[in-house]
A and B are shown apart, each in its own frame.
Chain A
Amino acid sequence: MSLHSGRRAQAARNGAGAAAESSADNHPQVLVKNLRVVAGSPGTPSVLVNDVSFAIARGEVLALIGESGSGKTTVALSLMGHTRAGCRISGGSIEVCGTDVLSLRPREILEHRRRRVAYIAQSAAAAFNPARRIMDQVIETTMIRRLMTGSAAREKAVTLFRSLALPDPQHIGARYPHQLSGGQLQRLLAAMALMSDPELVILDEPTTALDVTTQIEVLRAFKRVIGERRATALYVAHDLAVVAQIADRVVVLNSGQVRESGPTMQVLGAPRDAYTRTLLSAVARRVAQSVAQEPVVATSGASSRPPGEDNRRQLLLAVEGLTAGYGKANDQGLPSSLALLDISLAVRRGAALGVIGESGSGKSTLARVLAGIMAPARGTIRLQGELLEPRMERRSREQLRRIQIVFQHADAALNPAHTVAHILGRPLKLYFGLRGAARDERIAHLLDVVHLDRSIAARRPPELSGGQKQRVNLARALAAQPDLILCDEVTSALDAVVGAAILDLLAELRRELGLSYVLITHDVGAVRAICDEVAVLYAGQTVETGPLQRLDAANCHPYTRLLVSSVPELRSDWLEGVASASPGPAMPATASSKDLCRFLPRCPVRIEGRCDQQPPPLNRTQQGAQILCHQPANRR
């Protein structure tokens, strides 16, 4: 009891302090001065954050921008009095709501987090405890503080769920994390943060793990809640376009140092620092500009010509009627959950096909089926007219050589115990029997091709940066001298600047070696950068295929439009202007509904009585594009 009343007295004191502060309104809510964070032994520390200073005024949203390793999360966590294992704050001062954070004792730090600062982590799926119900986690700190009864806390949480536009706010709290989607979890995490009515909210890349269409929903919810509560927020991000939607001011961080700071529009519109300009140019390329790509290899422009004898000969990869999935097969030989439905694709020699889709669209399954890692239930894959065995084990060595795959995570694909020379040497020995000096020469040449220093041959993957590893990964694929490279999300694990350089390299290799690509990605920008044909995948169906220009065509598929328009733009009014993606789950892939349009529940232009009754027809345009939709071209 005495503990209880003591707490209340303390709360009263704090309240009085806050009131005194608000009278002096010009005093910033957050004041960080000369912050320095180091890691490693005291003798030879490595500096993670050096001399970082900034202030956040009451009710202001400040964005902390930087690439991975820039120290932005380290700075954000230090405001909560938290450093990750091995790191420590070695200098400077942090003041949050008039409290000197660095002088707090452990008990006071907990109080600081429960009361004043709340944190929204990047991956909500990982930040929620898988073994406990959402509601218990959302109201946990409120219950620890004994601010209100359990039922009052739950009521408050439901109100927050509602204001964050969560479905079924009354009952969603009774669920477990694995029963919810990434976008829902991210908003629930925000609700958890706002339960304590914090004076400062820290959002650490809260939309990075989400699909672009989901990102819009979450950004909207965040922006509204922040606006309604006039919350002070620190928004940590690497995506400048996202930041433009939500932040009042921006601090650009690089290698632990502040490069530039100022009002959002000034920094993004007229950057003074060279590094900020690099970041901006990496963003600019993915935003909708009609990328007038010259056909790089003479034959790749073939798609615009009428189909004829000549083109058929140059067809490199032809996929027809591919259906694949997971789970037990039914009596028709179809798996219980279908990931791909009747996919047909064609890649001409020297062409680059971009396969775009959100998570769950089946694009990874497509990569696995093409590579022969997984056998399809139906359909055929032909390489230059030659039928490929469904499973890799039964394909000939020559066929294997001609199709190479580059995975998203170079870290996982490269054996950390092997040197780069060993990694590159294996395909050379396997496919060409190269040994000794001839092999070394070829390895050196491969490293030249991917613009890596030859000395890297002696090093091992853990010693390389993310971009270098992805180049080695690419060189490994090139070692086989393939005709076709399957690129599975090759840039999504990389920072924008590094990813842009990898895309440039892919374009250059295609130009010089006449390679063909199937670029599987969720990133519309990556497709714009190097592809000349595109296939849009939704819930296992190709809703649209055709030349790259289809992305910006007036008569494109409604889903293509949604996807393309969901890519954030640097304009600060973009979020208000963009069309709402009507939320709703994709159609369940059951046998009865499998012929209907999968986009139906989210489609803004669906025709009741037709779209939910008949399978959509395949419309062909004169340019050779195919669109799966009931709507006539002028009404899509």
Chain B
Amino acid sequence: MRVTLQLILKRMAAAALTLLLVSIIIFTITSLLPGDAAQAALGQNATAAAVAALRARLGLDQPVLWRYLHWLGGLLTGHPGYSYSNGLPVSAIISKRLPQSLLLAAATTVVSVPFALTLGILAAMYRGSWLDRALSTTTLAMVAVPEFLVATAGVLIFAVKLQWLSALTFVLDHPTPLEFLRSYALPVLSLCFVVTAQMARMTRAAVIDQLSQPYAEMAALKGVGSARVVLTHALPNAVGPIANAIALSLSYLLGGTIIVETIFDYPGLARLMVDAVSYRDMPLLQACAMIFLAAYLGLVLIADICAIVSNPKLRRP
């Protein structure tokens, strides 16, 4: 048990270090971006004095290292600066958007993960059969179809033709379950299209890999039925790779949802970040980037811990 804990603590320390290094990279790159926020804010006709005054107010005249440390301290205490474009605290802007993004991501996770696992395990159980081939083809097609096509087709069919669902996603304060379903069905469906396929394919591959191991044959020779072999023998050994595949797919749900957010006019983080780029709103951009990276690292860390805990060789050497 102590060994496991040590291993997990090591992974967490590594994740924290990665996050720190990445913060340096993000800060450096955003500082190197051409253009100047003060210049951009005031326009081409601004006087040099006005630009200089704004630069001083934004702290842009300070040395880079000092600015970095100041920013890092702010991040850690929850005050990652003020937006260049509207002067509001970045934390206030993000705290309005982040719950929306998390809600969409959570809804998609709840639908897609069980669905993908079921598909992957079914395909592995009946590998080589018509079911497996059908699932393979379908999931491959799902990966290949761009999400804007799925989203647009969904809108055309369910919102325009059948009028069951709304074309835009309204964020209501206290939605009833039905309202929530009508509002979120289309964006969740579109996102599920993207992430389910990857997860299902990786699950299938991981389970089949385990089924080719001698212990799976031994279980079959003991008289254990194929469903049981998959669920109680192969699956416990496939937890590591499956958890990693899920983590990689889910990490897409925070930063990669820009197309879905745009199509459904959904107030999520991805659109906020794109807006920040176009307005050269560096504090906002940096904060968004750090949130995405932290989420990514967090997911990978959870997957790693799943892999460690599910492996008795690491758990009790």
Interface residues of A (CB under 8 A from B): 77, 80, 82, 84, 110-115, 118-119, 121, 123, 126-132, 140-141, 144, 176, 178-179, 192
A112 to B220, CA, bound (A): 12
With A121-B214, A144-B228 in contact, is A129–B316 under 8 Å at CB? no
A602 to B151, CA, bound (A): 72
Contact with A along B203-239 (1 / 0, CB 8 A): 0000000000111011111111100100011001100
Q: Are B228 and A132 in contact (CB under 8 A)?
A: no
With A126-B213, A126-B215, A129-B237 in contact, is A141–B313 under 8 Å at CB? no
Q: Does B312 contact A (CB under 8 A)?
A: yes
A210 to B223, CA, bound (A): 26
With A126-B214, A128-B215, A131-B237 in contact, is A144–B223 under 8 Å at CB? yes
With A121-B218, A127-B214 in contact, is A114–B223 under 8 Å at CB? yes
Q: Are A119 and B222 in contact (CB under 8 A)?
A: yes
Chain A residues closer than 8 Å to B30, beta-carbon distance: none
A-B contacts, CB under 8 A, total:
69
Q: Does B4 contact A (CB under 8 A)?
A: no
Chain A residues closer than 8 Å to B236, beta-carbon distance: 129, 131-132
Chain A residues closer than 8 Å to B224, beta-carbon distance: 110, 140-141, 144
Number of B interface residues, CB 8 Å? 22
Q: Are B237 and A130 in contact (CB under 8 A)?
A: yes
Closest to A77 in B: B221
* Chain B, interface SS category: helix
B153 to chain A, nearest CB (A): 40
B117 to chain A, nearest CB (A): 17
Closest to A114 in B: B223
With A129-B237, A131-B237, A178-B313 in contact, is A192–B222 under 8 Å at CB? yes
Chain B residues closer than 8 Å to A84, beta-carbon distance: 217
B217 to chain A, nearest CB (A): 8
Beyond A119-B221, A127-B218, 7 additional contacts (C-beta under 8 Å) are A82-B217, A112-B223, A113-B220, A123-B214, A132-B233, A140-B224, A178-B313
B120 to chain A, nearest CB (A): 18
A77 to B222, CA, bound (A): 12
- Can you list the 10 inter-chain pairs with the closest CB atoms, starting with the nearest? A114-B223, A113-B223, A126-B214, A127-B218, A131-B236, A176-B312, A119-B221, A129-B215, A110-B223, A131-B237
Chain B residues closer than 8 Å to A123, beta-carbon distance: 214
A600 to chain B, nearest CB (A): 26
Q: Does B39 contact A (CB under 8 A)?
A: no
Chain B residues closer than 8 Å to A132, beta-carbon distance: 232-233, 236
Of the A-B pairs whose beta carbons lie under 8 Å apart in the complex, a sample of 16, sorted by A's number, is: A80-B221, A82-B220, A82-B221, A115-B223, A118-B222, A119-B218, A121-B221, A126-B214, A127-B214, A129-B236, A129-B237, A130-B215, A130-B237, A144-B223, A144-B228, A192-B222
**Contact of A141 (CB < 8 Å), options: B222, B232, B312, B316:** B222
Closest to A131 in B: B236
B244 to chain A, nearest CB (A): 16
Closest to B212 in A: A85
Chain B residues closer than 8 Å to A129, beta-carbon distance: 215, 219, 233, 236-237
Chain A residues closer than 8 Å to B166, beta-carbon distance: none
Contact with A along B283-317 (1 / 0, CB 8 A): 00000000000000000000000000011110010
B116 to chain A, nearest CB (A): 22
Chain B residues closer than 8 Å to A140, beta-carbon distance: 219, 222, 224
Interface residues of B (CB under 8 A from A): 213-215, 217-225, 228, 232-233, 236-237, 310-313, 316
B119 to chain A, nearest CB (A): 23
Chain A residues closer than 8 Å to B312, beta-carbon distance: 130-131, 176, 178
A141 to B223, CA, bound (A): 7
Chain A residues closer than 8 Å to B214, beta-carbon distance: 121, 123, 126-127
Closest to A138 in B: B222
Closest to A111 in B: B223
Closest to A126 in B: B214
Closest to A193 in B: B222
**Contact of A113 (CB < 8 Å), options: B221, B313, B316:** B221
Chain A residues closer than 8 Å to B316, beta-carbon distance: 176, 179
Chain B residues closer than 8 Å to A178, beta-carbon distance: 312-313
Most buried by B among A112, A121, A127, A129: A129
A140 to B231, CA, bound (A): 13
A145 to chain B, nearest CB (A): 8
Chain B residues closer than 8 Å to A77, beta-carbon distance: 221
A179 to B215, CA, bound (A): 16
A628 to B232, CA, bound (A): 50
B60 to chain A, nearest CB (A): 49
A46 to B316, CA, bound (A): 46
A150 to chain B, nearest CB (A): 15
A204 to B10, CA, bound (A): 44
Chain B residues closer than 8 Å to A118, beta-carbon distance: 222
A130 to B213, CA, bound (A): 11
A552 to chain B, nearest CB (A): 39
A131 to B213, CA, bound (A): 13
Closest to A123 in B: B214
A114 to B218, CA, bound (A): 12
A176 to B219, CA, bound (A): 16
A130 to B221, CA, bound (A): 17
Closest to A109 in B: B223
A192 to B218, CA, bound (A): 11
Most buried by A among B218, B220, B223, B233: B223
A520 to B23, CA, bound (A): 54
Chain A residues closer than 8 Å to B233, beta-carbon distance: 129, 132
Q: Are B222 and A113 in contact (CB under 8 A)?
A: yes
Chain B residues closer than 8 Å to A110, beta-carbon distance: 223-225
Chain A residues closer than 8 Å to B310, beta-carbon distance: 131
A34 to B222, CA, bound (A): 26
A128 to B237, CA, bound (A): 12
A113 to B225, CA, bound (A): 11
Most buried by B among A82, A131, A178: A131
A126 to B310, CA, bound (A): 18
Chain B residues closer than 8 Å to A179, beta-carbon distance: 316
A123 to B225, CA, bound (A): 22
B226 to chain A, nearest CB (A): 9
Closest to B218 in A: A127
Chain B residues closer than 8 Å to A111, beta-carbon distance: 223
A110 to B228, CA, bound (A): 12
